[in-house]
Amino acid sequence: MRKNKEIVLGVTASVAVYKACELVRRLQDNGFGVTVVMTEDARKFIQPRLFEAVSRNRAYCGMFEETVEWDIEHVSLARKADLVLIAPATANIIAKIAAGICDDLLTCVVCATEAPVLICPAMNDRMFLNRITQANIQKLEKFGYRFVQPRKGNLACGKAGIGCLAEVDAIVKEARRLLG
């Protein structure tokens, strides 16, 4: 029997974090295994427990937490992933990946994986249009990282503009395409 494709879903500290639960379910409905890796700041918005309940799988956060089984998690997660998907992706995580920074579990997984990486930005329009953010995105695209671009909509700050997380449908469609 063919093994299910595995997605490591990186969740970062954007206000769009609540949409990641729906994304987990939709990816699972499409037959993918999903393991969530959250940043420390994402944990200030939402607890890993919720992702564990939704995904019925362990959700990872810190690099140096007590582990039940001995394993170097960033390496084993990077190896197990057929796709690393980051949704929502903050300006911060995009900048860190573009700079090759590996100071948390998610950035280490991204650096260590050989799987395709799909990034779905979500942020304020000024942050998204900021020339450094745009340069970071272009740099990552040149290295083969994939993006599902954000859409225009009502931003958390109260005005309309570009920066809203792409629709879950569009993210799932691109993940399916990358996973063949």
Helices 105-112/91-98 angle, 10° precision? 40
Please tell me whether residue 90 binds ligand FMN under the rule CB under 6 A. Answer: yes
Shortest spacing between CB 77 and ligand FMN, in angstroms: 17
Shortest spacing between CB 176 and ligand FMN, in angstroms: 25
* CB-side neighbour CA atoms (13 Å) of 170: 14
Q: How many residues bind ligand FMN, per CB under 6 A?
A: 15
Please tell me whether residue 179 binds ligand FMN under the rule CB under 6 A. Answer: no
Please tell me whether residue 92 binds ligand FMN under the rule CB under 6 A. Answer: yes
Question: In terms of CB distance, is 83 or 122 closer to ligand FMN?
Answer: 122
Which stretch in 24-32, 71-79, 89-97, 134-142 sits in contact with ligand FMN by CB under 6 A?
89-97
CA distance 142 to 15: 28
CA 151, distance to chain mean position in Å, is 17
CA distance 55 to 48: 10
Can you say whether residue 144 is alpha, beta or left, with left for phi > 0 and alpha for psi between -120 and 50 degrees? left
Could you list the active site residues?
157
Which residue in the set 87, 123, 166, 171 belongs to the binding site for ligand FMN (CB under 6 A)?
A: 123
- CA dihedral in degrees (100, 13, 82, 29; nearest 10)? -170
Which residue in the set 42, 83, 86, 148 belongs to the binding site for ligand FMN (CB under 6 A)?
A: 42
Shortest spacing between CB 42 and ligand FMN, in angstroms: 5
Please tell me whether residue 55 binds ligand FMN under the rule CB under 6 A. Answer: no
- By the 8 A CB rule, do 86 and 34 touch? no
Please tell me whether residue 15 binds ligand FMN under the rule CB under 6 A. Answer: yes
Please tell me whether residue 136 binds ligand FMN under the rule CB under 6 A. Answer: no
- By the 8 A CB rule, do 93 and 12 touch? yes
CA distance 19 to 122: 11
Shortest spacing between CB 123 and ligand FMN, in angstroms: 3
Note the residues at the interface with ligand FMN (CB under 6 A).
Answer: 12-16, 39, 41-42, 90-93, 122-123, 127
